[in-house]
Structure 1
């Protein structure tokens, strides 16, 4: 059976990060990690004690007189796996470069579908806007970032004003989005073209084409929205490269061409692993976007 979109569980990421973490102590010293903060009230009927948590990574030395820019990072994992604890290297590296990083968990399929995941991410964003000043961040300079499924969720937060308004975020506070090999930008086109019986993504997106379209951020793009940075692996999955190209063209048609770079030779998992190293093109462009450094 031909599959256009086969995203690896993040076990490979975890294995690689275990190796990298042996030298993380040196990187940790210029930053502080505040772990396992609840972004949903424990009294909420849907509170999940593990998944409704986030970590804040803050620079130990802050510029006097102003808060740092903030990046809210959403992990990937095929919408059914992944954990914020795998991505300490992202939080540490951003904090070391003058950015307050917020790395979150969110509920996963099959427990919830994409609307529940997006709602969790919106609640994490609301928590960030309300509380990040306590950790040296500027609530007026909040950006979103994600890899793989997390990239698709970051795009939803950037484009779905109605979702954010339901959590008190009107106008939309997102100042820009950094998408690292994003999945889910156009699940409608992908699922409409799937082979008969290929229902692996129904756990996350359901079986209704109207829902696939509703949660595909390409159909929510509008003029005047925040800017996008898109980074695509030259050897990534065809579904990611094709949907990202359509996303790029749609932004261009709206008069808002994104920063768009295809990184030669990069496969899907290495696209996030490269964030361990400070001097890569994603951080270079991210820092310019958020105004850090």
Structure 2
């Protein structure tokens, strides 16, 4: 996998943003957005100005029971990206009866991946404690992540100790949807350094193999791991294909039954851009998954 090309993600996502502007009104009508909520206070020693923010997208319609909740974690090579590029994900989910939380987090080189994971965990904890105020069900909290955000989502779902360190007795994640996830096994990837430019990932992951392993979700899988849906582009980077298949196989070996689908012809960036369209295959599988 040539992670180097993931640097193109924010620029190419502008295409989706411009497209979204044209129809934002029709998409937004069934939902309400609460923007720029701080999930880490400015007085916190780990505070990162402008980064530890989230947006909540909630259906306007009242429901007989609280809506399921999906927290979306963006990608961007661990050194770029923002929640502000992904309003289309929040709007589409809310339009289909889900309370969506779209988050930003600190990035390299300011921090390393463990700090990014802490930010994402704290955003999930904020969601668990406050989402009922927006019509969401804190007991039905799921993660959706693309690229580097998929790796972080998988790590949160499998690393219970991270939540305990932040005051949660149990892991609140009930399931995960991985959209062309990167970083599921950075221990193996960084040991090989198989592609030109791979040394750039020593910036977010650091120089120590023990940390690479600790930040790789595949080494945290257990029989108690929550359920996963995995989607992989048929023309994505080779190591995303191979690490996703290995992740699935490890889940199966532990007694799980993950959903796994390769989408023919899809490259890495179109795997997230497809979330603009309401009836794409990821939403078709995600909605029954979170509504069960």
| Cα distance change on mapping 1:128 and 1:197 into 2, 3 Å | closer
Distance 1:90 1:197 in 2: 31
Deviation string, structure 1 residues 201-259 (Cα, Å, up to 9, x no partner): 01110111111111100000000221000000000001100100100100010110310
- Is 2:66 aligned against 1:58? no
Instruction: Give the SS at the match of 1:174.
Output: coil
- Is 2:291 aligned against 1:291? yes
Counterpart position of 2:35? 35
Counterpart position of 1:266? 266
- Give the C-alpha shift of residue 7 in structure 1: 4.0
Are the equivalent residues in 2 in contact too, given 1:54–1:84 (CA < 8 A)? yes
Deviation string, structure 1 residues 119-151 (Cα, Å, up to 9, x no partner): 000000110001000000011110011100000
Are the equivalent residues in 1 in contact too, given 2:4–2:197 (CA < 8 A)? no
Counterpart position of 1:171? 170
Counterpart position of 2:184? 185
Distance 2:45 2:167 in 1: 19
- Is 2:238 aligned against 1:238? yes
Distance 2:197 2:35 in 1: 42
Please give the root-mean-square deviation of Cα atoms over the aligned residues, in Å.
Answer: 1.3
| Cα distance change on mapping 1:197 and 1:57 into 2, 3 Å | closer
Are the equivalent residues in 2 in contact too, given 1:27–1:92 (CA < 8 A)? yes
Counterpart position of 1:8? 6
Instruction: Give the SS at the match of 2:86.
Output: helix
Structure in which a larger fraction of residues adopt helix = 2
| Cα distance change on mapping 1:268 and 1:198 into 2, 3 Å | closer
Distance 2:185 2:62 in 1: 39
Greater than 6 Å deviation, 4+ residue runs: none
Task: Kindly report which structure 2 residues correspond to 1:80-159, keeping only aligned pairs within 5 A, or say none.
Answer: 80-159=79-158
Distance 1:254 1:278 in 2: 33
Distance 2:233 2:290 in 1: 23
| Structure 2: stretches of 5+ with no match in the other structure | none
Instruction: Give the SS at the match of 2:75.
Output: coil
Are the equivalent residues in 2 in contact too, given 1:62–1:68 (CA < 8 A)? no
Counterpart position of 1:220? 220
Are the equivalent residues in 2 in contact too, given 1:4–1:190 (CA < 8 A)? no
Distance 1:286 1:160 in 2: 22
Are the equivalent residues in 2 in contact too, given 1:151–1:179 (CA < 8 A)? yes
TM-score, structure 2 as length reference: 0.96
Distance 1:237 1:221 in 2: 23
Deviates more, 1:248-257 or 1:13-22: 13-22
